[in-house]
Amino acid sequence: MKKVKSWIIGIMFATVLIGNAQTVVPSAFNYQGVLRAGDGTAIGVGNQQVEFKLYNEATGGSAQWGRMYTVVLDANGLFNVELEDDSGSKLSDVSVSNPTLCDGSLLSVVSTAEGQLFIGITVVGDDEIAPRQQLLSVPYAFMAGDVHEARTKFDVHGPLSVDDGAKVAGTMQANSMIITTNGWQTTLGVNNSGNLTTEAGLLVNGNAAITGNDLYLNNVTIAADGALDLVHVYGTLKTEGLIAEGTTEMLSQDAPATTGGATIGGDGSWEGVANDSWTSIIEAQETDGMVVIELEFQSNNGKSGEAHLTLTQNGVETTFNINVYAPDKIQHLETLPLPKGAYITAKNMDPHNTGVRFRARFFPFGL
């Protein structure tokens, strides 16, 4: 057989670089070339067995993919072949230095290639034609760099940079997702039809702002590095359960037996002072407008003492300092604007007081 060499007329590289989008971009590429004899003369019309291999190096190295095709030459030696996984014949162990790598798919070899890819061409019976040709981008490959749609799995093996918003219609799972910005504000937005779900923790080092929709939380811990842990509520804080911190209780009319509870016209329950910093939260469920709160102090176990009691309502504190002598009972009436569903806090402010107990009840204004 005559020695032959190849002049490359053109190469069109149209390999799919993402997901399973074969309906849009073909998963093969077309290769055209000219085969001539070593002296440059035409070989003539006929068939030639030609091996095509992909390498990571311009010379040497192991073939990453390979197929053998029967190419048909015209009178000028021109041939055309479509390289893909489902055509041609897999190369034998004798033909390549690493046949296992040649078993990989064309898509995986191209999409995971680091750096450059080169195509090596060998006419069966001759040495590989030198030099190998580097594969360059063509229109389809440029479009693959500007992905519009991935119909199934989409793997990113490096950083993913999104300049103008990332939209996820289904579920987005991440072991760790850090959102940073070079500007003044970073925003993680979830629209009305979606949920932001975390099975581990959501750490917010700055401010967390929720506007327009409800925030559903099963368990919330609020902590700070400083001495004070503060929660600021600008508006209405509504709860249908308990808000608890330590031994603090939220008391409602539905639980009249709870220590410190109060009902309209009811007797209430005595709040002892075995814990000298007790706090009771008293709810006015059936009132709407001005109310009269009756504060009743009585000596505890026959002991005298001084009641230092602070009532907090709508952020305004009112402190009562009342001396109680056994076995006296002192009542104090206070008129407060208390809308329906609002709360007041009654707190013992005297850490040395062990002789006073407290209860309260509400009356509609004017009764």
Write down which residue in 117, 143, 169 finishes a domain. Answer: 143
Residue 45 lies in a domain: yes
Q: Is residue 96 part of a domain?
A: yes
| Residue 153 pLDDT greater than 50, yes or no | yes
Q: Find residue 333's DSSP bridge partners.
A: 294
More confident of the two residues 364 and 260:
364
Rounded to two decimals, what is the model's pTM?
0.39
Choose among 12, 15, 23: nearest CA to 150.
Answer: 23
Highest mean pLDDT among 59-63, 229-233, 361-365: 59-63
Which of residues 143, 162, 194 is at a domain's end? 143
Query: How would you classify the pairing of strands 29-37 and 78-83?
Result: antiparallel
Q: Output the pLDDT for position 69.
A: 92
Q: What is the mean pLDDT of residues 92-97?
A: 48
Final residue of a domain: which of 83, 112, 143?
A: 143
Q: Are residues 136 and 253 in the same domain?
A: no
In a domain, 123, yes or no: yes
Q: Do both 133 and 254 map to the same domain?
A: no
CATH of the domain at 113: 2.60.40
Render pLDDT for 263-294 as a digit per residue (tens, 0 to 9).
333 344 454 443 344 455 555 444 445 555 65
Structure confidence at residue 275 (pLDDT): 38
Q: Is residue 230 in a domain?
A: no
Q: Closest Cα partner for 133 from 66, 65, 33? A: 33
Our count of domains for the chain comes to 2
Q: How confident is the model at residue 160 (pLDDT cuts 50, 70, 90)?
A: confident
Task: Determine, yes or no, domain membership for 92.
Answer: yes
Average per-residue pLDDT in the chain? 63
- Residue 85 belongs to some domain of the structure: yes
Domain-located, residue 236: no
Asked whether residue 63 carries a pLDDT value surpassing 50, the answer given is yes
Q: Specify the CATH number for the domain of residue 264.
A: 2.60.120
Alpha carbon 277 to its chain's center: 42
Contact 363, 292 (CB under 8 A): yes
What domain range includes position 33?
A: 4-143
* Residue 93 belongs to a domain: yes
Residue 238 pLDDT? 66
When pLDDT is cut at 50, 70 and 90, the band that residue 365 belongs to is: very low
